């Protein structure tokens, strides 16, 4: 078992082990879960540390290949192909850290613990496997493997009166998004003529023989809106705040922080480089849809009285910056988008983890019922303040680095959208974040919270870990950006390559004919 495969196979093997442990051995079940996620995190950090020294194969490192299914009569070739570059490296490390933090905060689960921890481990293995896979079959398979536990965990261990409705809505939306993305991936496989699901081989085939413009025009929207629904692109975002508000803390941390990045990663890895003309027709529209995420969802967050719903809408708003960076197709903008993907993963996990701790201690997340809690819970209060400041884009946190790069990169391509996004981030984001801090932590102390106790030493571990990651990447961003940029540059180069038959579009033919006629009548 290689280092890369061990990162996601360990949680899956641990899930099988948990199934074999008697139900009443709750401590052992929890210990196995913590041990597996901790080991996976250490392996991911080792992968990050060894990345620069590793050998390169087709732009990827730590490559692992094994034949799996090959049926020549059906022109079917599915192989086990893993690899890491600067784009998925940060996502794998972030996912492993968030998974360990999610396991740490799962003490709130008091029933069906065996089933819960099994699903948590399966979800973790699926997430990390999806990011490590360089074969479209396993890329999609591992995503679905992680997605199914999300539905079950919200339905069985969720919170609130709207839990069943939230489960139904998130299932419908994400299933639709997954089906659209699947249709796009299958169409890409059929149109490429490469007879392989291998992403590297598909890329080589498309470089040698670009997809027809008509095919790109049909396939790219399927991937854009399929992945977009999975990422909560406005206006297909309404499942996210409701689902996260009802989800168990660990589920919200893993899905909002990590699994949601699957769609963004898919666009960067598959959609844009393999279909540059299809992308060019939609990226300007995508840039304006980003404003729906940043401005509209920010305004909705300002109206929320429940902390989880506020964080859920804030999470959706931050997706707008990632889409904007991708749409810019500049080295700075796309690099910034990947940085925001990693930073938002840590931030979403931190904020949902803190809201879960508050709910466990107070029994409510209605901000009007809280207030004056900073003296009773100084650590949780300070962590919440830092998380909200990071969400505002305060310098010193990783979010500031990524969002600043996105805005610089997108200015030339979309000056109007960039201006509105900047004001939306500076004003709207600051208002709802800082107002939440005021309502929860400041103001007069309430008698019902007088006996409240702060987090124990063990309960502080996940929050310290997530905050440390945000601060480290905030003060030393080159730790991440120096790895991302060399991997982003080839994608941008492919995206700027236009299909040979593009000039054959009717509009272009008429334009070319008109220009020729003008040249013919001009005096020499």
Cβ neighbours around 301 below 10 Å, total? 25
Taking the complete model, does pTM exceed 0.85, yes or no? Answer: yes
Whether 300 is covered by a domain: the verdict is yes
Q: For residue 392, what is the DSSP state?
A: T
Is 94's pLDDT higher than 90?
yes
CA dihedral over 239, 241, 244, 246, signed as positive or negative: negative
Instruction: Provide the percentage of residues in the chain whose pLDDT is more than 90.
Output: 40
Whether 234 is covered by a domain: the verdict is yes
Whether 128 is covered by a domain: the verdict is yes
Averaged confidence pLDDT in the chain = 86
pLDDT band (50, 70, 90) for residue 54: low
Whether 515 is covered by a domain: the verdict is no
- Give SS3 for 62: strand
Domain count for the chain: 1
Whether 519 is covered by a domain: the verdict is no
> Residue for token digits 């280092």?
3
What distances in angstroms separate CA 129 from CA 109, 135, 439, one per listed residue? 26, 11, 40
> Residue for token digits 């708003």?
317
**Mean pLDDT of all residues in 274-281:** 86
Which structural domain, as residue segments, surrounds residue 461? Answer: 3-497
Whether 295 is covered by a domain: the verdict is yes
**146 neighbors 127 (Cβ within 8 angstroms):** yes
pLDDT band (50, 70, 90) for residue 69: low
Whether 508 is covered by a domain: the verdict is no
**Mean pLDDT of all residues in 255-259:** 89
Is 158's pLDDT higher than 90?
no
Is 397's pLDDT higher than 90?
yes
Cβ neighbours around 493 below 10 Å, total? 12
Give the helix/strand (H/E) hosting 473: helix 457-475
pLDDT, tens digit, for every residue of 433-447? 888 888 888 877 777
Q: For residue 23, what is the DSSP state?
A: T
The per-residue pLDDT for 70 is 62
Q: Which residue has the higher pLDDT, 264 or 77?
A: 264
Q: Which residue has the higher pLDDT, 504 or 151?
A: 151
Q: Which residue has the higher pLDDT, 35 or 443?
A: 35
Instruction: Provide the percentage of residues in the chain whose pLDDT is more than 70.
Output: 92
Q: Phi and psi for 148 in degrees, rounded to 5?
A: -60, -45
* Residue from 125, 132, 165 nearest 148 by CA: 125
Whether 204 is covered by a domain: the verdict is yes
The per-residue pLDDT for 500 is 42
CA dihedral over 188, 190, 193, 198, signed as positive or negative: positive
The per-residue pLDDT for 192 is 80
**Mean pLDDT of all residues in 3-32:** 92
| Measured distance CA(95)–CA(261) in Å, rounded | 10
**350 neighbors 257 (Cβ within 8 angstroms):** no
């Amino acid at each position: 078992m290689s280092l890369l495969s061990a990162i996601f196979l360990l949680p899956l093997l641990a899930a099988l082990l948990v199934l074999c442990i008697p139900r009443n051995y709750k401590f052992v079940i929890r210990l196995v879960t913590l041990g597996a996620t901790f080991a996976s995190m250490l392996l991911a950090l080792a992968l990050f540390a060894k990345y620069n020294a590793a050998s390169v194969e087709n732009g990827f490192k730590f490559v692992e290949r094994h034949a799996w299914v090959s049926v020549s009569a059906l022109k079917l070739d599915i192989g086990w192909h893993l690899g890491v570059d600067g784009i998925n490296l940060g996502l794998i490390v972030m996912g492993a850290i968030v998974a360990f933090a999610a396991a740490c905060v799962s003490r709130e689960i008091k029933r069906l613990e065996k089933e819960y921890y099994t699903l948590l481990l399966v979800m973790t293995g699926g997430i990390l496997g999806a990011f490590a896979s360089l074969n479209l079959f396993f890329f999609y398979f591992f995503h679905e493997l992680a997605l199914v536990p999300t539905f079950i965990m919200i339905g069985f261990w969720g919170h609130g009166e709207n839990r069943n409705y939230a489960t139904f809505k998130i299932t419908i939306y994400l299933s639709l998004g997954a089906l659209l993305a699947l249709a796009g991936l299958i169409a890409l496989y059929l149109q490429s003529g490469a007879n392989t699901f291998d992403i590297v081989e598909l890329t080589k085939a498309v470089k040698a023989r670009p997809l027809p413009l008509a095919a790109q025009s049909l396939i790219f929207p399927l991937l854009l809106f399929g992945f977009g629904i999975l990422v909560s692109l406005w206006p297909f975002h309404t499942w996210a705040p409701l689902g996260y508000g009802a989800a168990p803390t660990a589920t919200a941390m893993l899905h909002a922080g990590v699994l949601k990045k699957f769609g963004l990663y898919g666009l960067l890895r598959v959609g844009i480089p393999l279909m540059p003309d299809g992308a060019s027709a939609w990226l300007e529209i995508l840039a304006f849809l980003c404003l729906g995420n940043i401005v509209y969802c920010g305004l909705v967050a300002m109206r929320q009285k429940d902390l989880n719903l506020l964080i859920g809408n804030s999470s959706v708003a931050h997706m707008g910056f990632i889409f904007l960076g991708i749409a810019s197709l500049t080295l700075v903008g796309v690099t910034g988008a990947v940085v925001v993907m990693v930073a938002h993963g840590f931030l979403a996990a931190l904020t949902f983890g803190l809201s879960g701790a508050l709910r466990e201690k107070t029994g409510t997340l209605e901000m009007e019922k809280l207030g004056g809690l900073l003296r009773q819970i100084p650590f949780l209060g300070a962590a919440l303040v830092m998380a909200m400041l990071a969400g505002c884009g305060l310098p010193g946190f990783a979010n500031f680095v990524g969002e600043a790069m996105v805005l610089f990169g997108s200015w030339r391509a979309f000056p109007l959208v960039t201006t509105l996004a900047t004001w939306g981030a500076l004003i709207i984001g600051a208002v709802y974040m800082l107002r939440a801090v005021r309502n929860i932590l400041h103001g007069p102390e309430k008698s019902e919270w007088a006996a409240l106790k702060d987090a124990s030493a063990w309960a502080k571990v996940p929050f310290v870990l997530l905050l440390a990651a945000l601060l480290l990447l905030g003060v030393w961003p080159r730790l991440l950006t120096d790895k991302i940029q060399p991997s982003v540059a080839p994608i941008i180069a492919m995206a700027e390559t236009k299909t040979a038959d593009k000039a054959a579009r009717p509009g272009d033919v008429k334009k070319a004919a008109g220009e020729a006629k003008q040249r013919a009548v001009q005096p020499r």
